[in-house]
Structure 1
């Protein structure tokens, strides 16, 4: 195995706990009973893919209302959508400064402006002296770069931006689809499955 010089982290399910069932329940409580068919951990319909690649937030709310037939307020949609965000894995975050002394660290997350604002707000309550993105050499969010995993273009965006050697780059994600896509590009990978933690990987 080639020596690792850079690590690319996923966010949800790796450094931040998430539970899609909570958002499904929050929408069900609002009368949206088909949410799981629109979005879950393994599938996103066209609307949510657009949200994760930069569609305007207000347009998302309008299209969500149209697609579900529910006249919900923006705030109701936002709060239900944010329900899946749980706590940061503080023990995992705590090892990042040590890892950064040995490797280049990057974040590559499929996310959207609604979730980004919320998890950055929560992190700010924990660590007022440091922005979340400052934990990494650079942080990349799908809705800002216009590319989402598992598309090869998402990985290539980061690799090319920093002239990284794929074979010397480790990618850590909880999605097997994303892991397989990264491996196909020649990257080293760790599939972080339930119960596994970054701090226990011996990096």
Structure 2
């Protein structure tokens, strides 16, 4: 009997347009997403480099781009957050312990909050017992330690917990620890289809 659900954020609640960021960076002179972009992104997602150092690192790779241009391209990934998903979550929060666990950075969260407005994002965050962003806790999926962190902090029982994420490496990692999982297929499934999955 599942009594707890851990959700990813991007492409589960907020729609992402990953191509928009790639296209935006290409317009600024990026020929390919290289290992340096990857390194900066991973460090920023775990809070190991500052907002300024992250942007300076990108600017070094894109010498003709302004910080404003880079921010615009970086934030282009954030698309809409349909209200029906929030309403579904509010309904779920009356019956289950809910947690949010997202690999993200401070720029994206600040932008989401600014774009959606305080009443929307407050309503969203209030659905959860606790919201965990990788840049705040210094841990990210698919590493087992991030799941262990939640288990220990909230005395979770993996066999009574469902983890929902669109990335297979993340759900595989959770499954290895005994969690129930739903590897949601973006574009084919929606989080509001949860009860159709017969997992709960």
**Is TM > 0.5 for Structure 1 vs Structure 2?**
yes
Separation (CA, whole Å) in 1 of partners of 2:150 and 2:116: 24
- Provide the rounded CA distance (Å) in 2 between the counterparts of 1:72 and 1:8: 38
Once the 2 structures are TM-superposed, how far is the Cα of residue 105 of structure 1 from its aligned partner? 0.4
Does residue 56 of structure 1 match 2:54? no
Matches within 5 A, 1:1-203: 3-35=1-33, 37-38=34-35, 45-54=38-47, 55-66=49-60, 68-124=61-117, 127=120, 130-194=122-186, 195-202=188-195, 203=200
SS in 1 for 2:79: strand
Q: CA deviation at 1:135?
A: 2.2
Which range moves more in the overlay, 86-95 or 177-186? 86-95
Q: Deviations over 1:39-68 (max 9, x none)?
A: 9xxxx72211001000200000111222x1
Q: Distance in 2 between matches of 1:136 and 1:95?
A: 13
Gap runs ≥5 in structure 1: none
The root-mean-square deviation of aligned C-alpha atoms, in Å, is: 1.8
Alpha-carbon contact 1:173-1:179 (below 8 Å) kept: yes
Give the conservation status (yes or no) of the 8 Å contact 1:120–1:132. no
- Evaluate the alpha carbon distance shift between residue 131 and residue 122 of structure 1 in structure 2; reply closer, same or farther with a 3 A threshold: farther
Quote the Cα distance in structure 1 between the aligned partners of 2:82 and 2:92: 16
Preserved CA contact (<8 Å) 1:170 1:188 = yes
Q: Distance in 1 between matches of 2:119 and 2:14?
A: 13
Aligned length: 194
CA distance in 2, matches of 1:21, 1:70: 21
SS at match of 1:8: strand
Alpha-carbon distance between aligned partners in 1 of 2:93 and 2:154, rounded to the nearest angstrom: 15
Distance 1:137 1:123 in 2: 21
For residues 83-116 of structure 1, the C-alpha deviation after alignment (integer angstroms, 9 at most, x for no partner) is 0110013222211121111110000000000000
| Distance apart, 1:33 and its partner CA | 2.2
CA distance in 2, matches of 1:16, 1:69: 28
Structure 1 residue 131: Cα displacement: 4.7
Q: Kindly report structure 1 stretches of 4+ aligned residues shifted beyond 6 Å.
A: none
1:132 deviation in Å? Answer: 3.3
Report the TM-score when normalising by structure 1: 0.89
